[in-house]
Amino acid sequence: MKLIGIVGTNSKKSTNRNLLVYMQKHFADKAEIELVEIKDLPLFNKPADKKIPESVLEIAQKIEAADGVIIATPEYDHAVPAALMNVLAWLSYGITPLLSKPVMITGASYGQLGSSRAQAQLRQILDAPELKANVMPGSEFLLPHSLQAFDGDNNLIDLETVQKLDALFDDFRLFVKIAEKLSNAQDLLHKEAQDFDWEKL
């Protein structure tokens, strides 16, 4: 199984990146997880020529070729970071790589809540008409107190946390396989997403 892990921040140091790196290593026998950085993308500005930057198209192509996507989001001011909003804006501008794509949401935070509000907002965003990702229900993985969560080798310390992540990842692999079979409306959904234009409403 080929998965894309989106590091949902432009920070050089992030426990959300640490979490994806851990998952990449920990689940190597179950899936190939390629990490994608979003820190160098240009700011979305709805270009007049409607030309999408090559850096965005490269991410879109990786998502389209993958079986599923894992997004690790921090929480800034009770919301997803601007950098993550930015890449989602680009990925919904005339292209539809996330349409019906199975998505697992994870998140780490320094405090107690583990990015819960950002994850709830991200679910809403991914359900937008221009994105329409297939987010696994009840799948949120919250990693609180993330600065203390890893050892010196970037392994999660708490056994219960590891067991929960293992169970959610196994569910996500099953969800990906089920989603592959739910393809009857794919062409129609693609056409609706490509034809959607807020300016014509």
Residue pLDDT, tens place only, 40-67: 999 998 888 889 999 999 999 999 999 9
Residues 6 or more apart from 93 whose CB is under 8 A from it?
A: 44, 46, 50, 52, 130
Where the chain has pLDDT below 70, the residues are 183-201
Q: Encoding tokens for residue 84?
A: 């993550």
Model confidence, pTM: 0.90
